[in-house]
Chains A and B, each alone.
Chain A
Amino acid sequence: MPVPLIPAGLTAPANSGVSELRHKRLAGLGKTVWMVVDAQSRLLLDPAPCLAELTGLKLTEVAKLGPFQVLAPETVEAATAIWTDLAARGHTRREAMKLKLPTGEWRLFDLNAEAFEESPGRHILLFHWREVCVQSSTAELIEQHREQAREDAVSASAAKDRFLASLSHELRTPLNPALLLASENAANESFPPEIRRDFDSIRKHIELEVHLIDDILDLTRVSQGKLALQMQPVDLHAIIREALTIVRAEMQDKRLMIAVQLEATAHWVMGDAVRLQQVFWNLFRNAAKFTPAAGRIVVTSRRSPDGTRWAGTIEDTGIGLTADEISRIFDAFAQGRHAGSGMSSKFGGLGLGLTISQGLVKAHGGEIRVASKGRDCGATFTIELPVVNPGRPGRAGSHPPTAANHTAGARGTPEHPAGRRVLVVEDHAGSRIALTALLRGRGYEVTSASCHAEAVECAAAAPFDLLISDIGLPDRDGYELMRELHGRYGLPGIALTGYGMEDDLVRSGAAGFSSHLTKPITARALDTALSRFHAGASKTKPNP
Chain B
Amino acid sequence: MIASPTPLAALLVDDSEDDVFFMLRAAKAAGVGTTFHVARDGQEAKDYLAGAGGYADRTQFPLPKLMLLDLKLPYLSGLDLLEWLRAQPHLDGIVVIVLTSSQAPVDLNRAFQLGANSVLEKPTTPEKIRELVRIFRI
Contacts and interface: CB of A to CB of B under 8 A. Distances in A.
B88 interface: yes
Contacts of A258: 112, 118-119
A395 B87 CA distance: 8
Contacts of B91: 397
Interface stretch (A44-52, A237-245, A324-332, A363-371): A237-245
A516 interface: no
Interface stretch (A103-111, A259-267, A348-356, A433-441): A259-267
Interface in A207-244: 238, 241-242, 244
B95 A261 contact: yes
Contact of A399 (B86, B95, B108): B86
A261 B136 contact: yes
A112 to B, nearest CB: 64
B132 interface: yes
A135 interface: no
Contacts of A263: 93
Contact of A245 (B93, B112, B119, B132): B112
A267 to B, nearest CB: 12
A260 B82 CA distance: 15
Given A261-B95, A398-B86, A248 B109 contact: yes
Where chain A touches its partner, the secondary structure class is: mixed
A241 B114 CA distance: 8
Given A395-B89, A397-B92, A398-B87, A259 B136 contact: yes
Contacts, number: 56
A381 B86 CA distance: 27
Interface residues of B, number: 23
Contacts of B115: 241, 399
B77 interface: no
A241 B113 contact: yes
A395 B95 CA distance: 19
B135 interface: yes
A343 interface: no
Given A248-B109, A248-B112, A396 B132 contact: no
A133 interface: no
Given A258-B118, A396-B89, A244 B132 contact: no
B68 interface: no
Contacts of A241: 112-115
Contacts of B132: 259
A81 B68 CA distance: 82
Interface string B61-99: 000000000000000000000000011110111010000
Interface of A: 238, 241-242, 244-245, 248, 252, 257-261, 263, 296, 298, 395-399, 405, 408
23 contacts: A241-B113, A241-B114, A241-B115, A242-B113, A244-B112, A248-B112, A257-B118, A257-B119, A259-B118, A260-B117, A260-B118, A261-B135, A263-B93, A298-B135, A395-B87, A395-B89, A396-B89, A397-B86, A397-B89, A397-B91, A398-B86, A398-B87, A399-B86
Given A245-B113, A398-B86, 13 more contacts: A241-B112, A241-B113, A241-B114, A248-B108, A257-B119, A257-B128, A258-B119, A260-B112, A296-B135, A397-B88, A399-B113, A399-B114, A399-B115
Interface of B: 86-89, 91-93, 95, 108-109, 112-119, 128, 131-132, 135-136
